[in-house]
Structure formats: C-alpha cells, structure tokens
Amino acid sequence: MKLHEIREHLKKRGAYNDKLRVALVDWLATEKSKDMCMGITIMPKKIKYMSRKGTELAERHVRKDELVQRAERFVHLLNSCIYKNAYKRSGKKLDCVMTVEGERSCKDLHCHFAFGKPHTMTAKEFNELVKKALAMSDDFCTYSERTKAPQHKVDIADGEWMHYMTKELDGKSFANLHLL
C-alpha cells in the first residue's frame, strides 16, 4: 500500500476527523458547562536536581506524565479540602475536566481545569480552598519569584472557557483530556 492509500483508508475509518473534537467541545460547552462553573489554570514547579558533577543545583521542566500525576494529587487534595471526611467515606467529589496544554508548542506545560463547585459554596470560598490545596501539594507555582504575581488563575467558567481549554486537542487523539 502506498502512503496516500493508507491515508484514504484511515479517513474512511474516521481518522483525521476534526468533527470528533468539535462535537466533544460543543458537548462540553453546552451540556457540561452548566455543571462546570469554575475554571482554573495552574503552572507546575520545575524539578530541581543535582547536576552530574554534584556541585550545583539544576532545574528541568516536568514531563507530561509527571504533570498528570501532580494534577491528580491536586484534585485529590481539593476534594478533601471541600468535602473533608465525606470524600473518603461516601465518595463525594467534584466534577472535573482537565486538559494538559503546551506539549506541542513552545509554551511550558500547564493544566486547565473545569470544576463543578458545590452550590452551597461561593466563588470566593472556592478560590480560598484552591489556594489551600495548591499550598498543600507544593507541586505548582503559587507566585512568581520575579514578578510576585500569582501563577494560578481561578475564574468563573462558561462555554467559552471549554472552547479555550480544549483548543490544543486534535481529532485523532484526546490523550491530553482527562476526566477526574
């Protein structure tokens, strides 16, 4: 088989179909955005290690698998901050959609979340609990050392947020989309 024949065969089977991404984003933007009312963007800390010579401390960026593990731990901590013992005992948890962004671009890897917060909680209370969970995890940047600006962002999410956070997904693979 030649390359163009393989591509045509894959097209017939549904590959290279951007309609899948559009359908998913539309579903997230219309149906799930009613439940997902809070959007969060967080940046991971760089990993510090000793150089090969063992004389100086070096830094490296986190890999995607490390970022996903850190994000899952953050969501676990946020759930335990919000629901306390009910999270462990009865399995109460926040609805969460996460995307990892920056893998195929020149940007640093970072996460976008869409959360469904409890109806009894205000946005300000949710923001405070996000700060507490970030401080507990110690895996994400809270403030920039250089500019002293916050390195995380908590906003009220809508359908446009869902479109924004899924902008780097392609129709072939949804590997960067995580339902937590």
pLDDT the model gives residue 125: 92
What pTM was estimated for this model as a whole? Answer: 0.77
Tokens standing for residue 149? 């600006």
C-alpha separations of 127 from 119, 145, 155, 160 in Å: 14, 21, 9, 20
pLDDT of residue 7: 66
Strand blocks (E) in the chain: 38-42, 47-50, 57-60, 95-101, 110-116, 152-156, 177-179
- pLDDT by residue (tens digit) across 62-107? 788 888 898 899 999 999 999 888 888 888 888 888 888 887 777 7
Higher pLDDT, 92 or 56: 92
pLDDT at residue 15 tops 70: no
| 123, pLDDT greater than 70 | yes
